[in-house]
Structure 1
């Protein structure tokens, strides 16, 4: 519905632009600027949609991997069960082999349950981290802030349009409120390590005091680190500033929208092992399945086999 409204707005502006003789030059120029702004907004929404699609594809790939492992273990259990049935139908001379098969089947059952628990715990951990990190950000701020949790590591990506003055590494005034919220999140997790990493597109920089995009990206990472330390009180011992220049792309540099996505600063928050365990304990119980819980829908529950 939002996309339809956007296209209708574009159509109305385009229709007005086709009648330049009916309006004054200033009003015509204003309409042209509005039209250009709407076009830019449409491209940003489209880029955001494509990014969400990629994230969804990545999540589906991970789920497919879990499902493949589960299917493989189920096939292994069935093969072992078939072998056990044949042994049970033979003479008592195979008692030793039967005992080994029982142990292998029970071990496979435990491994299947472990995979199920690991997947549910991973999903719950990611949900806890994402909710904690985004709880104080407004909808407008989320347009320039991308939060992802991958294997317990938090990636906060901030667009350079929001953070810096144009073509500079100086923090803009409008970035202050967003950085203050991110700083509060970092302070909440006081034992986590924080890496601030600058990234650029491949357009050469043309400033006398900045040699190349390596310099620019490192200076931008350093600017955010110093802002977190000096303005928001984050312990500098936890902070690391880095720059990756134009070599850590998330989109093609052949288009303006791609270059815009590549110009970003990532704040990477890495928990230590004890923080991982604490977060796992915080995971909602209804999101995590334990060994005594029911097996998820679509999976047949396999009970341990007692030896004869």
Structure 2
């Protein structure tokens, strides 16, 4: 409105200063010009107000966008940090996996060698003891170990702990193979059936019988066949690890036995495990 009044005053001043009496036509022309200027001025004022509002709105939007950009940069920094940490962890896990795979390969190679050695030993023993297999001697592999099982009738007279000649011959053949295999440890295990021991003098029960028979075999192998005693252990299992749990005479015959358990030395494997 101020602009309108100023234009009107300017128009009047121009008319007065000219000291010229206007004709009605000229007057109407001046008034028309004034009205046109007033209209255009009003439009400009409206446009100015609209532009001011738009400018304020755009400033607010730009501020919001700048805030969003700052948040995104902060989130991106956090994401990059997390990404770097995750990548570092993944690289560490990959390195650990490579080490474990290499270690696994070493262990597998050693176990493969052990199994090959165990199978070769089994074959040697089967050939050396072929003549005794009909009399209750068996050779088999269990859990990476060679088991030479000899029934009590092959080694001892009934109820005795003294090895007979037939038993000594079998042990001699066995020792001939084992003396050539210095990397094999041996455990001599005595086993009985579940019948109670009666009238055997110093032998009080099946524990005694199993232990004394195991030590008799161990003594013969070390003192007569000259196997290094550091390689042997003797244990008695009594009646508590039967081959056949049936309550029959045939099962009891199987259960009365000496088992010589042959284990390859696993120093190389032990060293790997304890690294």
Q: TM-score range by the shorter chain?
A: 0.5 to 0.7
In the TM superposition, residue 117 of structure 1 has moved relative to its aligned partner by 5.0
Distance 1:260 1:189, change over 3 A: same
Match of 1:298 in 2: none
Structure 2 gap segments, 5+ residues each: 1-78
User: Judging changes above 3 Å, is the alpha-carbon distance between structure 1 residues 240 and 199 closer, same or farther for their aligned structure 2 residues?
Assistant: same
Aligned with residue 193 of structure 2, among 192, 201, 214: 201
> How has the CA–CA distance of structure 1 residues 239 and 102 changed in structure 2, closer, same or farther, with 3 Å as cutoff?
closer
For residue 124 of structure 1, the aligned residue among 113, 117, 120 is: 113
User: What's the CA shift string for 1:134-174, capped at 9, x where partnerless?
Assistant: 314334545612332535x5443222232222332222322
- The alignment partner of 1:206 has SS state of coil
**Using a 3 Å threshold, how does the CA distance of structure 1 residues 240 and 92 change in structure 2: closer, same or farther?**
closer
Aligned to 2:126: 137
Aligned-partner SS, 1:205: coil
Gapped regions of structure 1 (runs ≥ 5): 1-90, 281-308
Q: CA deviation at 1:198?
A: 0.7
Separation in 2, partners of 1:112, 1:191: 28
Q: Provide the TM-score with structure 2 as the length reference.
A: 0.56
Matched residue count: 189
Q: Is the 8 A contact 1:133 1:185 kept in 2?
A: no
Supply the RMSD in Å over aligned alpha carbons. 3.3
Question: Residue in 1 aligned with 2:233?
Answer: 240
Q: 1:189 to 1:277 in 2, by over 3 A?
A: farther
Alpha carbons 1:137, 1:181 under 8 Å: kept: no
C-alpha distance in structure 2 between counterparts of 1:141 and 1:124, whole Å: 29
Deviations 1:103-138 (A, max 9, x none): 313423543454455345324312212312431433
**Secondary structure of the corresponding residue to residue 103 of structure 1:** helix
Q: Contact between 1:156 and 1:268, CA under 8 Å: does it hold in 2? A: yes
After TM superposition, the structure 1 = structure 2 runs for residues 1-308 of structure 1, keeping only pairs within 5 Å, are 93=81, 94-112=83-101, 114-115=103-104, 117-138=106-127, 139-142=130-133, 144-148=137-141, 150-151=143-144, 153-190=145-182, 193-209=185-201, 210-274=203-267
* Distance apart, 1:175 and its partner CA: 2.5
Choose 1 or 2 for highest CA Rg: 2
